[in-house]
Structures are given as C-alpha cells and as structure tokens.
Amino acid sequence: MIGYGFMGATHSVGWRQAPRVFDLPESIEMTVVVGRNADAVAAAAEKWGWLESATDWRDVIGRDDIDIVDIVTPGDSHAEIAIAALQAGKHVLCEKPLANSVAEAEAMREAAARAAERGVRSLVGFTYRRVPAVTHMRDLIAQGVIGRVQQVRAAYRQDWLVDPDVPLAWRLQKEHAGSGALGDIGAHIIDMTQFVTGQDVTAVSGTIETIVSERPLLGSGSGLSGTAAEGTGRVTVDDVAIFAGRLAGGALVSFEATRFATGRKNALTIEVSGDKGALAFDLEDLNSLQFYDRTAPEDRQGFAKILVTEPVHPYVAAWWPAGHMLGYEHGFTHQVVDFVTAIADGTEPHPSFAEGLSVQRVLDAVERSSDHDSAWVRVAADAP
Ligand code: SOE
C-alpha cells in the first residue's frame, strides 16, 4: 500500500477484515506500507498490521512477493504510481478520484487496458458503491422497480471548512488534489449516479466557488485533522460545486458538493425518481433505503423504509445475524472482497479505470462550464 493517511487506515481495515469475514479465493498478506516519513510510516505499519514499511514506492512495486499495489496517496501521484505498477504486472487498486486531470486518467486507462490483456486487473476506489444499500438500490433500479428514471437529486455535503482557521492541507491545493469539493466528494456522487442508474452523465452546467481563499499554513498533521502554523497561503481549489447534469437516457440531475454546509458532517444523499416509484439513500442512515411505490394502492402510498440488513441483501450474509448494522468501514472490506475475487476469477472488476476516467471527464466539464458562465458543456466520450 502506497500512502498511510486517512484512506490508508480505511484500506488497511479492509485488507485485514476481508479474509476474516468472507471466504476469499486467495489468502492476503499485508506485506509492506510505503510513505516518505520513515518513522511515521513505521508507526502506521505497526498500528494497521503491515509486516514492513518502506520510504520509496519505486523500491517495492517490482518485488516478486507483491501481487497487488494499493494507492492511497493524494491525486498528484496516482498516475505515475499506477502506470508503473501496472507495467510491473501488479494488480492496482487506486483511490478516487482516479487522477488530477483527464490526460492523466486517459493514460491510466490505457495502461490498465494493456495490462488487462496480460490478466492484470485494476480498480478505482469509489467505495460507496459497496455500501449494501447502494448496491441494492442499483439492483432494484436495474430490475425496473421504479420504472423509467426521470430525475435524480444527488448531494454530498460536509462542513469541515466552515471554520476559516482550518489550515491549508493538501486537499485545498490544486497541484496536489486537482480540485476541491468537486473532485473529492462531487466525484462520489457522479460515480454513484452513474452506478445506480446505469447511465452516463453526458452534459453539465455548473458553478464552482471558493468561499475562503486564504488559510493558515499547515503545521503538523495532514488531511482533515492538521494544525495551523505561522503565516497564510492561498486556497487554489473550489469549496462548493453546484451543477446540473443530463443523463444518457435524458433525465436531469441536480448535483451539489460542498464543504460549507454548516452542520452537515458527511451527508451524502441521492434520490432517483422514476415513473413507477422512487428510491432514496442517505449515508448518515446507511443501513436503509427509502422506497416509494407508485404502483401500490393509492391509499397506501408513501415512502417506506427498507432495512438493508438481511441475508438477501448484497454483502450482508457474511456479517452478523439478520438485522444487525454495518458502518462506513465495511465498504472498504467489500471493495477488497470484490477486487480479490475478480483477480482470482480473471474477470474485470468495477469501477474500472475506464469508469474512473468517465467521472474525471465530468469533473473537467463542470470546471469548463463554470469558466464560461455555467454554459452547458458536453462530456467527452470515447469514439464507439
Ligand atoms: C474528505 O472529504 C473525505 O474523506 C473524502 O476524501 C472521502 O472520499 C469520503 O469518503 C469522506 O470524506
């Protein structure tokens, strides 16, 4: 695993839990974790259960005793590491968003396609797809339970930047993160919309905005929990992104990604409205779905809560007896299960780097729309 911050911790939990809870076709050895600070990465290895630590990813990706490279670094190093690892014949799991630009994501997709010809697999970490309720929502929509999708509302709202004294971590710097709320959390709702509806976003119109443009420099720590040092620096990414999207089937989507929704901590919500019914998911109530059935007798219609905690639901049977809850970290375990199973079966795991590229193209189109007074921008697609 390359990187050991917040996502390094979540992925470590996934690698450790997966073989304990699920029957995997292969065993897993958490061989080596890599980071630039030798003491800090050694401590992370000890804490999260990696056998070794190292300080240069180039030294480890060619090793014969390594089959999988898991990339949990900021976006500015995804392309270089992923392409090198794929060329070295390693299966690659890469955190989202896939890259910091469309050009990088295209190069990664090409490297993944060439590697796939040799049986080498790749996966991008849109982990929320693997919350059982989200997978179930996708299945129900594919079965036609809500009919034709006519409208979607998707929002991911956090508030960790409302305080102007939150320091200038890498997530607020374009050269490291690529974009702000748009790429960090907007990417999740773009992927989730495309996943649950089975339709690509084909055009967008939007605005991105930076609300606090100068922040204290980062002293210690990183990511979401750093402390401030002397001096200030410029925020070079968006704090808020609000955009409309058009799906391939014609439906309109409203997207909202913000780190300034005061009081909203990790509020990812999506509601898909069809001509026969509607389904809604809320990450802050992640063991359930809301379902409205327009085909039910009129006097009994209304949103009903489906508890997605039963053995009939995706992933749930492997965990606890029926009715017992899962949380944020379980998606990372399910991600490992699906990836390792696909590697063993020789099938293509999803979301593929091609799907990661499609999200990257939507992000890029939103930025271009915002630069042109929110004009509608078509999302590039590969030639058929
Ligand atoms: C920070 O906004 C963040 O950690 C995202 O980077 C993750 O993808 C999301 O799961 C939670 O919020």
Beta bridge partners of 307: 288
**In angstroms, rounded to a whole number, what is the distance separating the alpha carbons of residues 262 and 162?**
7
Average pLDDT for the chain: 97
Cα–Cα dist 178/173, whole Å: 7
For atom 1 of ligand 1, which residue has the closest CA? Answer: 184
Residue 352 half-sphere exposure, CB side, CA atoms within 13 Å? Answer: 16
Single-letter code of the amino acid located at 291: F
For residue range 105-143, list pLDDT tens digits in order.
999 999 999 999 999 999 999 999 999 999 999 999 999
Look at residue 298 in the predicted model and tell me its pLDDT: 96
User: What backbone torsions phi and psi does residue 60 show, to the nearest 5 degrees?
Assistant: -105, -25
Q: Which atom of ligand 1 is nearest to the CA of 6?
A: 4
State in Å: Cα 255 to ligand 1 middle: 17
State whether the beta carbon of 362 lies less than 6 angstroms from ligand 1: no
What's the CA gap between 11 and 104, in Å, rounded? 23
Dist CA 193 CA 280 (whole Å): 12
- The ipTM estimated for the assembled molecules is 0.94
DSSP secondary structure, 245-301, as one string: EEETTS-EEEEEEES--TT-SSEEEEEEEESSEEEEEEGGGTTEEEEEETTS-GGG-
Q: In this predicted structure, which of 32-46, 212-226, 364-378 has the lowest mean pLDDT?
A: 212-226
Residues ≥6 apart with Cβ < 8 Å to 311: 317, 322
SS3 (DSSP) at 223: helix
Token pair 């997530």 is found at: 171
Q: Residue 220: what pLDDT?
A: 83
- Compute, in angstroms, the gap from residue 264 CA to the centroid of ligand 1: 13
pLDDT at residue 1 above 80?
Answer: yes
Residue 255 vs residues 20, 109, 281: alpha-carbon distances, Å: 37, 25, 14
pLDDT for position 290:
98
- Kindly give the distance from the C-alpha atom of residue 10 to the centroid of ligand 1, in angstroms, as a whole number: 11
- Return phi, psi of residue 234, to 5°: -85, 135
pLDDT of amino acid 42: 98
53 lines ligand 1 (CB under 6 A): no
User: Rounded to 10 degrees, what is the CA torsion of 102, 105, 110, 113?
Assistant: -130
Judging by beta carbons within 10 Å of its beta carbon (0-12, 13-18, 19+), is residue 315 exposed, middle or buried? buried
pLDDT digits (tens, 9 = 90+) for 239-250: 999 999 999 999
Q: What is the pLDDT of residues 299-321, one digit of tens each?
A: 999 999 999 999 999 999 999 99
Three-class SS state of 210 = coil
Query: Which residue segments constitute the domains of the chain, with CATH numbers given?
Result: 6-127 (3.40.50.720), 131-350+361-366 (3.30.360.10)
Over 90: is that where the pLDDT of 65 sits?
yes
Q: What proportion of the chain, given as a percentage, has pLDDT over 70? A: 99
Over range 346-356, report the average pLDDT.
Answer: 97
**Which atom from ligand 1 is nearest to the alpha carbon of 181?**
2
What is the reported pLDDT for 223? Answer: 64
Report the separation in Å between the CA atom of 185 and the middle of ligand 1, taken as the mean of its atom positions. Answer: 6
Atom 9 (ligand 1): residue with closest C-alpha? 185
User: Is cis: bond before 97, omega within 30 of 0?
Assistant: yes
- Position 383 pLDDT exceeds 80: no
Counting from 1 in the atom list of ligand 1, the atom nearest the Cα of 96 is 8
Task: Check if 191 has its Cβ closer than 6 Å to any atom of ligand 1.
Answer: no
Q: Give the rounded distance of the alpha carbon of 376 from its chain centre.
A: 25
**Segment 216-228, tens digit of pLDDT:** 999 887 767 788 8
What is the atom index within ligand 1 of the atom nearest the CA of 259? 2
Contact 32, 17 (CB under 8 A): no
For ligand 1, whether the C-beta of 185 sits within 6 Å is yes
